[in-house]
Structure 1
Amino acid sequence: MTTVPVGERNVGLSAEIDARLNTFFAERIAVSAQYGSDYERLWAQAAAASDGGKRIRPRFVLSAFEAFGGSDADAAAAVDVAVAFELLHTAFLLHDDVIDRDTVRRGRLNLSGSFASDAVAAGVSGDRARLWGEAAAILAGDLLIHSSQSFVARLDLAADVRGALLDVLDHSILVTAAGELADVSFSIGMTEARLPDILAMTERKTATYSFAGPLSAGAILAGADGDALAVLAEYGRLLGVAFQLGDDLLGVFGAEDVTGKSVVSDLREGKETSLIAYARATAWWPEIGALFGRRDLTDTEGRSLADALEVCGARSFVENLVDDYAGRAIALVETSGLPAALGDELARVARSCVGRIS
């Protein structure tokens, strides 16, 4: 996805977000040292996990805050709300890697992988080393979720505004967890993976905390009315599905040197996506199903599986879904009466979802 453009004032606020994050992690690393080197390293690795992202969610907060006329007096609060969503994002990445058993993120060992690797180097057996890595990642994610809520709870704002922001954050956490649980349920065969249910899961995993939540939070902080908030929530829902469907495509057809993640891991783990839901209804499924979800799936077999998903029409079907959801998001903001600058930005972001791997 492309970076969300921001106004002149928000360029400065964007720099403040990075500074605020750096200060937060530096303080936590310093305090954690008294509880042992492992705990200090956990916080240092959490900081590394937060570094290098596109800051999409913070920029959505700032874009909405600026578009609806957020005051200079509330600019510091906008930065803290933006930081809260970035910490929440990092927490979900840490937990998601544990759920997916991924040890690499952005082309390098993630927190779980790093802790596990160090344990192996220290002579710990493979299963116990993995437990060490996963425990560290779960704890780090939990700590960041708490910190995210703390940033918002401590804002010096009117009680009703602070409460509304906490409600947005709470709803984002609630819905995303529902999506993650459904994702695992589909992948292990607890629940039948039908396409409508896959799309609902796709929406819950990404849309609320990544798009609808940050946009709504920035708008609330600037005093936007209920009609505007409803538009932003629907836009966030549509964009979230388009974006997550694009990620599903990248997870199978993307370039590893670009995504920083294996294009075989989703297929090896039996990750139920719209690609797989479509393929199940085609004559190609016996061939695809024989390889899908095999823990010993090789890279060569993974490429063969990707080829079969393309030939059976699954890839083009999902690409058309991305086009549809992004198109509906664009049509919404172009006719919604949102502030012109924000509408233009949101339309550009939606267009960037289309053709991400072409």
Structure 2
Amino acid sequence: MIPAAHDPDLHIAIDGALARICERAHGLGPAFGALGEAIAGAARGGKRFRPALVMASFSAFAGADADPSAALSIAAAFELLHTAFVVHDDVIDHDTMRRGVPNVAGAFRRRAVADGADAEGAAVLGDAAGILAGDILLHEAFRLVAMAPIDDATRERLLALVDDAVLVSAAGELADVEHSVTARFPTRSATLDAAFNKTAVYSFRAPLQAGALLGGADADAVRIVGDAGGSLGLAFQLVDDLIGAFGTAEQTGRDIAPDLRETKRTPLVAWARESAGKSRVDETLAAARTGPIAVRAAQRVLEQSGARERVTDLVIDLLDEARGASRHPALPERAGALLRLVADGIEGRIP
């Protein structure tokens, strides 16, 4: 989606931050050394588009010849921030695998079993390791911003962006978990708020604004790319919801319709309940976990309700908002082109 994702200097910056964690961890005992290695493993294999957004936005405002040292540090901070959220999310969801291999919690469950722990003890150690790993990654993300070679005023603004990203994302995660466990189904507005908070701020708005700040953008330009980033981020999450219900196995990276099998309460489902009747949608989705025939029945209900079309229309509207913002006179052409490139990439993911 973003050419900067292939920049070797970007990967060197991220890997350098992870190497520092590993080096410090190995000096604090074998168990903590293993945690450092697990943290580094958690950051491998991702698309790294958040730090790429930082670098692309920086280049768009500062120009190709600007010194990227500070931007690389901030970009690495956003990748570590993302990894922290992923690790904590796995603990919240009681997941022990990611991308087909044990995650941090899973690795430490295995370590505990190898040392003679029972299943309960292994779960305790695994969860503790996951929580601590996420905490360390959050600390390292803030440390990278604090130590970046920038002036104090810029550092203060960047810290405010990261602070907002952490708090808003945590609010979105809590709302998402609450929606999944309570008897009362959330409103469509509440599911949209949770979707925005979980993804849009830390994945799109803040990285774009961080790169713009580092590139010397003025307040108007920073605001415009931030608003566009919010639209792009919500569109991205809604496309993920569509993929989770209608995407191919290649798109989901696992079985088709994982969100339907797990009865996730997404804006897509909330829209269907408004249109097709709560009881029919709830009954069909409750059965979706039983197998592929029931999954297809649930997909038909969502289609017939018009929910898929409405979510797709909202995605297109959000992307058009970002494309409109991209042509604002306060933005340099390279910044506008970046916003349009990201919008096109998101649209291309719609199943």
TM-score by length of structure 1 reads 0.88
Residue in structure 1 matching 2:145, options 152, 157, 166: 152
Deviation at 1:289, TM superposition (A): 1.4
SS at match of 1:353: helix
Question: Counterpart amino acid of 2:299?
Answer: A
| Change in 2 beyond 3 A, CA 1:347/1:36 | same
Question: Counterpart amino acid of 2:3?
Answer: P
Question: What's 1:211 paired with?
Answer: 204
Cα distance per residue 1:85-139 (max 9 Å; x no partner): 1100111111122223333333433323333355456664445433333322221
The answer to whether structure 1 residue 131 and structure 2 residue 129 are counterparts is: no
Please give the residue correspondences for 1:234-273 in structure 2 after superposition, counting only pairs within 5 Å.
Answer: 234-263=227-256, 265-273=258-266
Question: What's 2:3 paired with?
Answer: 5
Distance 1:302 1:116 in 2: 32
The answer to whether structure 1 residue 354 and structure 2 residue 333 are counterparts is: no
Distance 1:357 1:332 in 2: 21
Residue in structure 2 matching 1:58, options 51, 54, 76: 51
Distance 1:265 1:80 in 2: 36
Cα distance per residue 1:177-236 (max 9 Å; x no partner): 111111112111276511112111111111111111111111111221111011011001
Cα distance per residue 1:159-182 (max 9 Å; x no partner): 111111111111111111111111
Distance 2:101 2:311 in 1: 29
| Change in 2 beyond 3 A, CA 1:99/1:124 | same
Question: Counterpart amino acid of 2:102?
Answer: L
Residue in structure 2 matching 1:324, options 295, 300, 317: 317
Distance 1:101 1:266 in 2: 16
Does the CA-based 8 Å contact 2:17-2:76 persist in structure 1?
A: no
Deviation at 1:75, TM superposition (A): 1.8
Q: Select between 324-333 and 112-121 the one with higher mean Cα deviation.
A: 112-121
| Change in 2 beyond 3 A, CA 1:190/1:38 | farther
The answer to whether structure 1 residue 224 and structure 2 residue 217 are counterparts is: yes
Cα distance per residue 1:16-40 (max 9 Å; x no partner): 2211222222232233224333322
Q: Select between 158-167 and 260-269 the one with higher mean Cα deviation.
A: 260-269
Does the CA-based 8 Å contact 1:107-1:260 persist in structure 2?
A: no
Does the CA-based 8 Å contact 2:243-2:251 persist in structure 1?
A: no
Distance 2:337 2:98 in 1: 32
SS at match of 2:11: helix
SS at match of 2:217: coil
Cα distance per residue 1:53-99 (max 9 Å; x no partner): 22211111112211212696752111100000110011111112222
The answer to whether structure 1 residue 174 and structure 2 residue 167 are counterparts is: yes
| Change in 2 beyond 3 A, CA 1:129/1:178 | same
Question: Counterpart amino acid of 1:108?
Answer: V
Cα distance per residue 1:281-307 (max 9 Å; x no partner): 23354243136468x933434454334
| Change in 2 beyond 3 A, CA 1:232/1:327 | same
Name stretches of at least 5 consecutive residues in structure 2 with no aligned partner. none
Residue in structure 2 matching 1:280, options 268, 273, 278: 273
The answer to whether structure 1 residue 108 and structure 2 residue 101 are counterparts is: yes
| Change in 2 beyond 3 A, CA 1:34/1:128 | same
Question: Counterpart amino acid of 1:143?
Answer: I
Question: What's 1:39 paired with?
Answer: 32
Question: What's 1:297 paired with?
Answer: 289
The answer to whether structure 1 residue 78 and structure 2 residue 76 are counterparts is: no
Question: Counterpart amino acid of 1:298?
Answer: T
Deviation at 1:154, TM superposition (A): 1.1
Q: Select between 279-288 and 181-190 the one with higher mean Cα deviation.
A: 279-288
Deviation at 1:42, TM superposition (A): 1.9
Does the CA-based 8 Å contact 2:62-2:215 persist in structure 1?
A: yes
Does the CA-based 8 Å contact 1:70-1:223 persist in structure 2?
A: no
Distance 2:126 2:257 in 1: 21
Does the CA-based 8 Å contact 1:29-1:44 persist in structure 2?
A: yes
Distance 1:249 1:287 in 2: 20
TM-score by length of structure 2 reads 0.89
Question: Counterpart amino acid of 2:232?
Answer: L
Residue in structure 2 matching 1:233, options 201, 226, 238: 226
Distance 1:134 1:252 in 2: 29
Distance 2:12 2:217 in 1: 27
Pairwise CA RMSD: 2.6
Name stretches of at least 5 consecutive residues in structure 1 with no aligned partner. none
Residue in structure 1 matching 2:332, options 323, 339, 345: 339
Matched residue count = 350
Distance 1:22 1:88 in 2: 14
| Change in 2 beyond 3 A, CA 1:265/1:97 | farther
Deviation at 1:321, TM superposition (A): 1.6
